[in-house]
Structure 1
C-alpha cells in the first residue's frame, strides 16, 4: 500500500445506484429472516461472543435506525462516545442495551418499519456529506485508518447486516438466501477491497451462488464465498493475513 493510499480516507468503490439497490435488498432479506424465526431461535448463541440472536437483531435494528435518521445517528454517536473505550464496541453495546425491553416480535416489526426509511436516508445523503471523514478512526489490520461517510453509508451499512444475516442463519440452521445479482455483487466489492489492501498477486476461486474467479498468478486460493467473507471479517483465518471491515 502506498503512503497516499494509507493516509487517504477510504471511500466507496460502488456505483451509487448499485449501493442503494444492495441496501434495499439486504434489508428486505433481513426482515424475511427475522420474520421466519421461531420463539426458541432468539436465544441461540451466534458467532459473535456474548450475543445471542436477539442481541444481534437489536444491534442490527440500531444500525438501521442510524441510517434512517440523521438526528438518531448523531444521538447514538454522542451516547457511545460518552461510554468511552473502543467506539464501535461502545456503539454496539449501546444499541443492544437500549433495546433490552423489546420483544422479538417488536424488533422484527420495528426493523420492517425502519428499513424503507433507512434506504431513503442513505439514498438522500448528498455528495458533499459523503466525502466528509468520519470522526472516529477504525483499526483494520493493526492500523488506524479513516473512512468517508460515503464508505460507511454505501458499503459498511450493507456489509454489516449481510454478515449478521449469515450469523443468524448459521445460529438457527436456516437456509441462507444467496443470489449472484445481490450477494455476488457484494462479495465482488469485498474481494476487490481485499486485493487492494494486501497488494500481492493471487488467484482466487470462490464457490457458491455468490462466487467467481479473480486475479492471476500468486498463490491459488479456493473458498466458499460466504466462508471467505467470514474469514476476512475475523470469523476465521484471513487469507493472506488481510482483514476487510464488515
Structure 2
C-alpha cells in the first residue's frame, strides 16, 4: 500500500489587507466588551473548562502580547514548547494559554483593559509587518485539529487564527454573561464566510448550509442540509456544543 502524502501546510484564504482590517476591528470590539464588563461579570464561568471571564481575558491579552513584542513572542513560545516536551505532549498550545492566564492574573481588570487598548495597535502593526517569506514558511510545531496533527504556515496563524481566537472568546464572554454579541455582516459575516469555506474544504462533501442572523448567509446546493444560527455554527465547529454529521468537522479557532 502506498503511503498517503501529507497535505501541504495550511495557507490563509483571505488576502492580507482584509485580514488586517478584520484583526483591527476584532480587537476594537473586544476592547469595548472588556471595558463594559461589570465587576461581578469577570468571575462568570465560560465554555472554556476551568476558565472564568477573567481567565479568558488574560489569555486573550497574552496572545496580543505575543504579537506586540518580539521578547514576549520568543519567551512565551520557548517556555510553552519546553513544558510540552517535558510533559511529552503532542502540542504546546494548552501550555501556552495556561502560561498567559498565569502571567496576567496579577493585573487588575482596569489594568487588563488598559494594556489591551495600549497593545492591540502594536499587535496589528506586528502582524502587518511580517514579511511574505516568513508568512509562507511552516510553523515549527504541528497543530492538533479534530484529533489529528496538521501543519500551518505562519500566515495562516497570524492572518486567520489569531483573529478567530479573539472572535470566539468574545462569543464565550458574551455567552457567559448573557450579552448579545451584536454580530454584523461587514465584520462577523466576513469571518464566518471564511470559516464556512474552510469547513467545506475540510470535510469535502456536498452540503447545503443556511446560517441565520445578521452574520449569516447561504452556501452550497446539495447534500446534507443544515440550518442554524451563524454564531452557533462557529461554536459547534470549535467543539463548544453538540456536533453531528458534517458539523462534527473541526475547524480551528
TM-score by length of 2: 0.93
In the other structure, the counterpart of 2:79 is 79
Report the equivalent of 2:55.
Answer: 55
SS at match of 2:39: coil
Bigger shift: residues 190-199 or 173-182:
173-182
2:252 match: 245
- Measured in 2, the distance between the counterparts of 1:117 and 1:201 equals 42
TM-score, length-scaled by structure 1: 0.96
Q: Which residue of 2 aligns with 1:38?
A: 38
Query: Where does residue 185 of structure 1 map in the other structure?
Result: 190
Among residues 113, 117, 131, which one is paired with 1:108 in the alignment?
Answer: 113
Shift of 1:72: 1.4
Report deviation, 1:180.
0.4
**Matched residues in 1 for 2:182 and 2:118: separation?**
21
Which residue of structure 1 lines up, in the alignment, with residue 94 of structure 2?
Answer: 89
Stretches of structure 1 that go unaligned for 5 or more consecutive residues are: none
Aligned to 2:160: 155
Of the candidates 113, 116, 123, which is equivalent to residue 118 of structure 1?
Answer: 123
What's the offset of the Cα at 1:173?
A: 1.5
**C-alpha separation in 2, matches of 1:177 and 1:134:** 34
Contiguous gaps of at least 5 residues in structure 2: none
Structure 1 CA distance for aligned equivalents of residues 164 and 127 of structure 2: 14
Report the counterpart of residue 27 of structure 2 in structure 1: 27
Cα shift readout 1:54-106 (whole Å, capped 9, x = no counterpart): 00000000001111123311110001112223400000000001112111111
1:82-140 C-alpha deviation (Å, 9 max, x unpaired):
22234000000000011121111111110111111111111111100101111111111
For 1:177 and 1:111, the matched residues in 2 are separated by 21
**2:202 matched to 1:197?**
yes
2-side partners of 1:237 and 1:71: how far apart? 40
Q: Aligned residue pairs: how many?
A: 243
Return the alpha-carbon distance in structure 1 between the equivalents of residues 67 and 193 of structure 2: 23
Residue by residue, what CA displacement relative to the aligned partner does 1:142-167 show, whole Å, maximum 9, x if unpaired?
22100000000000000000000000
Say whether 1:135 aligns with 2:147.
no
Deviation at 1:216, TM superposition (A): 1.2
- Equivalent residue for 1:64? 64
